[in-house]
Structure 1
Amino acid sequence: MLSWMVWTTPVAVFFGCIVVMLIGMTILEIRSPSVLRKGFLPIATTRGDRLFIGLMCAAWINLAWVGLGDKVAAWLALPEEPSVWISFVASMLVLALILRKG
């Protein structure tokens, strides 16, 4: 059933983090409903809005990293593509920034 996707450790960790975040945000929203606030994003957002925007950014960062891995390795004369763990950490930092300051 899930054979169409390559379930490597980084992919499983990435999706596991998303599941944990969704569960945590659901519990937080039930205990303390969020209100609209304005951060550096050009619109007023709730916690859920910022989570969605952050997850979309995280997905795009990871896709860009995978798609540009060959080119980065060639540009920097690396023997192999850079680790996807780098993009995972970068995407989680961007997600945290958007959740906190967005």
Structure 2
Amino acid sequence: MIDLSWMAWTWPTAIFFIVIFGLIAAMGVWEYASPGGAPRIGILRFETTRGDRLFVSLLGSAFICLGWLYVTELSLWYALLVCAAFFVLVFKTV
């Protein structure tokens, strides 16, 4: 078992960063397997690649979670569902 007491970390925080690292690693593997990623112009009207869309979805998810904490006292698990929908929306339309 890993001791995280050296810092004010919790398991959810550690899992969050592990997931971010995993997404970036998966994007690297995807880029290695299929170079280029076919840049496209979506609803934002500028060219984006897979990496750009991942960045936009992660940044937007952070703001969704911060807004969720400000607006409501409901569990962040509900915000995770909103973030997942946002992630899919970004990859489909941006």
Task: Please tell me the TM-score bracket, short chain as reference.
Answer: 0.7 to 0.9
**For residue 23 of structure 1, what is the aligned residue in structure 2?**
25
TM-score, length-scaled by structure 1: 0.73
**For residue 68 of structure 2, what is the aligned residue in structure 1?**
65
CA gap of 1:62–1:96, structure 2 versus 1, over 3 A, is same
**For residue 77 of structure 1, what is the aligned residue in structure 2?**
none
Q: For the aligned residues, what is the CA RMSD?
A: 1.8
CA gap of 1:18–1:48, structure 2 versus 1, over 3 A, is same
Counterparts of 1:25-44 in structure 2, within 5 Å, are 25-33=27-35, 34-44=37-47
Higher strand share goes to which structure? 2
Which structure has more relative contact order (CA 8 Å, sep 6+)? It is 1
**For residue 92 of structure 1, what is the aligned residue in structure 2?**
84
Instruction: Show structure 2 runs of 5+ residues with no match.
Output: 1-5
Structure 2: distance between partners of 1:88 and 1:66:
12
Structure 2: distance between partners of 1:2 and 1:96:
33
* Higher alpha-carbon deviation: 14-23 or 91-100: 14-23
- 1:92 shift after superposition: 1.6
**For residue 54 of structure 1, what is the aligned residue in structure 2?**
57
Instruction: Show structure 1 runs of 5+ residues with no match.
Output: 70-80
**Contact 1:65–1:84 (Cα < 8 Å) also in 2:** yes
- 1:8 shift after superposition: 5.6
Count of matched residue pairs: 88
- 1:13 shift after superposition: 4.4
- 1:14 shift after superposition: 3.8
**For residue 7 of structure 2, what is the aligned residue in structure 1?**
2
